[in-house]
Homo-oligomer: A and B are copies of this chain.
Amino acid sequence: MQPTPSLPGELDASRVIVTLATELKTVPSLEELASGGFSQVMTDHMILVSYDPVHGWSAPEIKPYGPLSMMPASACFPYAINAFEGMKAYMGPDGIPRLFRPEKNMARFARSAARVALPAFNPTELLKIIRQLVTIDKRWVPAAKGHSLYIRPMIIGTRSSLNLSISDSALLWVMCAPSGPYFRNTRPLSLFAATDAVRAWPGGTGEHKIATNYGPTLTHHQRAQAANHDMNLWLLGDKITEAGIMNFFVVLRRDDGDLDVLTPPLDGTILPGITRESILALAAAHPSRMILPGLSEETRLHPAERELTMPDLETWLADGNVVEVFVVGTAVVVSSIGHIAWGAKEIVLPQYGDALGPVSKALRERILDIQEGEFEWEDWCVPCV
């Protein structure tokens, strides 16, 4: 009688092997986190799990953050067989860290990995391990408004071969770094709408969180900053797609006095942002299911996904219908746009001093309240205990 062949291992949270760091690092102070972006100091621990075609997924490890050993011929280097996620843990008033809609990140992570033909994994199991990691590194979750622990899941193809082919081996890890507010202040951002640079196109990869969408944007970002703008506005012809690495929104006053809250549809060129989706959901809930802070019950919001073009924006501005333009993302949450350079044109948008406009301000406050556990909403927060 033959022994039953063992199935390749699934990613399994019950198999986690924890090795705690013997020396713990100093957690950056809130002042040190105030310089913008994420801290470059990673927390004490990371998740590491590997896949090979014989054994499948290894037993996941939670272990001290440290270097990886990689073969130079690993497929991830020349071929960008890489996918990742960005998500945040927030410290609640009860001292319990909370993840914001993490099952959305896990599902997108699995889709992104599949786009570059990486091995499948069970997203529910991965989330269990991430919750365990956040619990272990809980002292790194900053307890201050607008602060959070940024969490970066990463998967790469490690097949050692110079041929371009599907990677039958992979490495998946999760690392964390505390972060302060993404921008130092809330002044409106200025965008450079490049007409010679395209981030994503039909039949490409723009809707996936894979490495290919990022590296090529660096030189354009550099050029935008050299021209005294904060970042690039990505167009596809005249169509507005994304700003920097964020989703784009415009708020229009309608003839009936209501407000349209518009963002481009998920046509394949747009990253399906989780903040984007949450903003649309919160706007739809006002005022029937909840009142957004600072907005009156009479202000009705009509969130919708529709194609937005630069000429549309010009027309709406000329007609005096634009209330505000803003961008959203996991890192920035919500930020205001004050200005767009588009070819020879300088487009000036409505500004509210150094503050956000009324709709983005209301949405940002509400989403932060939910993220930080001050406002309960539809199980969007998953506690790490």
Query: A residues engaging B (CB < 8 A)?
Result: 37-38, 40, 42, 46, 65, 67-73, 76-82, 84, 86, 114-117, 150, 152, 154, 156-157, 160-166, 173, 175, 177, 196-198, 201-205, 210-219, 221-222, 245
A173 touching B72, Cβ below 8 Å = yes
Number of identical monomers bound together in the oligomeric complex: 2
Select which of B82, B161, B214, B218 is within 8 A of A215 by beta carbon. B82
B198 touching A115, Cβ below 8 Å = no
Select which of B69, B117, B154, B216 is within 8 A of A218 by beta carbon. B117
Could you say which residues of chain B place their CB within 8 Å of the CB of A202?
A: 198
A46 touching B72, Cβ below 8 Å = yes
* 28 pairs, A vs B, C-beta closer than 8 Å: A37-B163, A38-B162, A40-B162, A67-B70, A72-B154, A72-B173, A73-B177, A76-B77, A77-B82, A77-B84, A77-B154, A78-B84, A78-B152, A80-B212, A80-B215, A81-B215, A115-B216, A115-B219, A117-B218, A162-B177, A164-B214, A164-B245, A166-B218, A196-B203, A197-B203, A198-B201, A211-B215, A212-B213
The 7 A-B residue pairs with the shortest CB-CB distance, nearest first, are A198-B203, A80-B211, A212-B212, A79-B214, A201-B201, A80-B215, A80-B80
Which of A65, A116, A212 has its CB near the most chain B CB atoms (within 10 A)? A212
CA distance A69 to B66 in the complex (A): 10
A72 touching B81, Cβ below 8 Å = no
A211 touching B211, Cβ below 8 Å = yes
Could you say which residues of chain B place their CB within 8 Å of the CB of A196?
A: 203
- How near does chain B come to A293, taking the closest CB pair, in angstroms? 30
Residue of B nearest to A114 (CB): B219
Would A204 and B203 be within 8 Å (CB), given that A38-B163, A214-B164, A215-B116 are in contact? Answer: no
Q: Known contacts A78-B154, A78-B214; can you find 16 more A-B pairs with CB under 8 A? A: A38-B162, A38-B163, A40-B160, A42-B72, A67-B69, A68-B69, A72-B154, A77-B211, A79-B215, A80-B214, A81-B218, A115-B216, A117-B219, A162-B175, A164-B214, A166-B222
B78 touching A72, Cβ below 8 Å = no
Residue of B nearest to A154 (CB): B77
- How near does chain B come to A129, taking the closest CB pair, in angstroms? 15
- How near does chain B come to A330, taking the closest CB pair, in angstroms? 11
- How near does chain B come to A35, taking the closest CB pair, in angstroms? 11
Select which of B68, B86, B114, B164 is within 8 A of A70 by beta carbon. B68
Could you say which residues of chain B place their CB within 8 Å of the CB of A211?
A: 77-80, 211-212, 215
CA distance A222 to B114 in the complex (A): 12
Would A67 and B71 be within 8 Å (CB), given that A212-B216, A215-B211, A222-B166 are in contact? Answer: yes
Could you say which residues of chain B place their CB within 8 Å of the CB of A205?
A: 216
CA distance A368 to B240 in the complex (A): 49
